[in-house]
Structure 1
């Protein structure tokens, strides 16, 4: 996996968290930068940890599915991409009236975990490709931290509509990465 793929993957994995962060920012009453940064750190740590967990699970199963690894990665990434696009198209854009000044840690952690399930599945797919997970997880975590922090502040201004578009773009990127992996492996076969 080259640097461009890692960067695109990190961006794709953080777009659903970005979309949630825009919604979180829109739901708050004038969130401050410290609230946005706290949200970014929580989401970033969770988003970095889940692909490592997925990678560990995938490594345990890799000897049994090595002949099909590129197809598994393609199906997982493409399926997640389609799911992200579908969820973005079906998202509820209403904002409650009584807006709090900040969100609780547990609400943020739960939201961060919910948006990181796809990163765990990507970790499983990357294990089949024998890719070092630590640089990828770090890139995903840092990208998520930055995008979520920015997303909360952007949500303060723009509302929830932007978040849905970001998730669609992330879904398209995941489908593209899955397709590239499949094509590279099919071309390499004798």
Structure 2
């Protein structure tokens, strides 16, 4: 049976993976004949960076954990709400022609830049991982694996249905992260 901790980690992973998923959909839409090697490389890089960034954030957060322990639930809520809100805002921004879906996944440099860009939010979420779990290594593996899987799926969906709903997916990810922030805040405030 899944514990609340495991379910929370899965929701965090799915929320964080939405940026990578949306970019993968765009990549699949931009290149209808996407090669499996390029899709796999994109998924591996997205998964690896999504796993690495929360680990870096967690390590940084451990350095000042004692200082913010009395306010950690507010910090977690603030970070998750800000990241989620940013994702929702960006999902509603109108894309210009220059911002279209031209994602050259055959270029390693482009893949690395996209990997960093889609995982920056995970860095901030990593600071909050200690509030969710004591099993940080397992959490970052779950985040990486889910991002890998959703990125591959995104490439395939992009090939089939284009970018019709790519922005909506990012909004869903933002709502998930805000929901987790509210849950953490409520648990601490009600538990007192």
Q: TM-score, normalised by structure 1?
A: 0.91
Which residue pairs with 2:33 in the alignment? 30
Tell me the SS of whatever aligns to 1:161: coil
Which residue pairs with 1:138 in the alignment? 141
State whether residues 91 and 164 of structure 1, in contact with CA within 8 Å, keep that contact through their aligned partners in structure 2: no
Query: What is the CA deviation profile of residues 114-173 of structure 1, one whole-angstrom value per residue up to 9, with x for unaligned ones?
Result: 010111100012235663321111111000000111111211122222211111100000
Query: What is the CA deviation profile of residues 65-96 of structure 1, one whole-angstrom value per residue up to 9, with x for unaligned ones?
Result: 11000000000001110000011111527446
Distance in 2, matches of 1:31 and 1:42, equals: 16
Match of 1:179 among 162, 165, 182: 182
Aligned-residue CA RMSD in angstroms? 1.9
State whether residues 58 and 128 of structure 1, in contact with CA within 8 Å, keep that contact through their aligned partners in structure 2: no
State whether residues 5 and 133 of structure 2, in contact with CA within 8 Å, keep that contact through their aligned partners in structure 1: no
State whether residues 15 and 166 of structure 1, in contact with CA within 8 Å, keep that contact through their aligned partners in structure 2: yes
State whether residues 9 and 132 of structure 2, in contact with CA within 8 Å, keep that contact through their aligned partners in structure 1: no
Which residue pairs with 1:169 in the alignment? 172
Distance in 1, matches of 2:143 and 2:164, equals: 23
Match of 2:161 among 152, 158, 162: 158
Which residue pairs with 1:18 in the alignment? 21
Distance in 1, matches of 2:101 and 2:76, equals: 39
Instruction: Quote how far apart the aligned CAs of 1:32 are.
Output: 2.3
State whether residues 59 and 128 of structure 1, in contact with CA within 8 Å, keep that contact through their aligned partners in structure 2: no
The total of aligned residue pairs comes to 187
Which residue pairs with 2:83 in the alignment? 80
Q: TM-score, normalised by structure 2?
A: 0.90
Match of 1:46 among 46, 49, 65: 49
Tell me the SS of whatever aligns to 1:48: helix
1:113 and 2:120 correspond: no
State whether residues 66 and 128 of structure 1, in contact with CA within 8 Å, keep that contact through their aligned partners in structure 2: no
Change (3 A) 1:96 1:16: closer
Which residue pairs with 1:147 in the alignment? 150
Instruction: Quote how far apart the aligned CAs of 1:39 are.
Output: 0.8
State whether residues 39 and 155 of structure 2, in contact with CA within 8 Å, keep that contact through their aligned partners in structure 1: yes
Distance in 2, matches of 1:91 and 1:17, equals: 19
Match of 1:5 among 8, 14, 17: 8
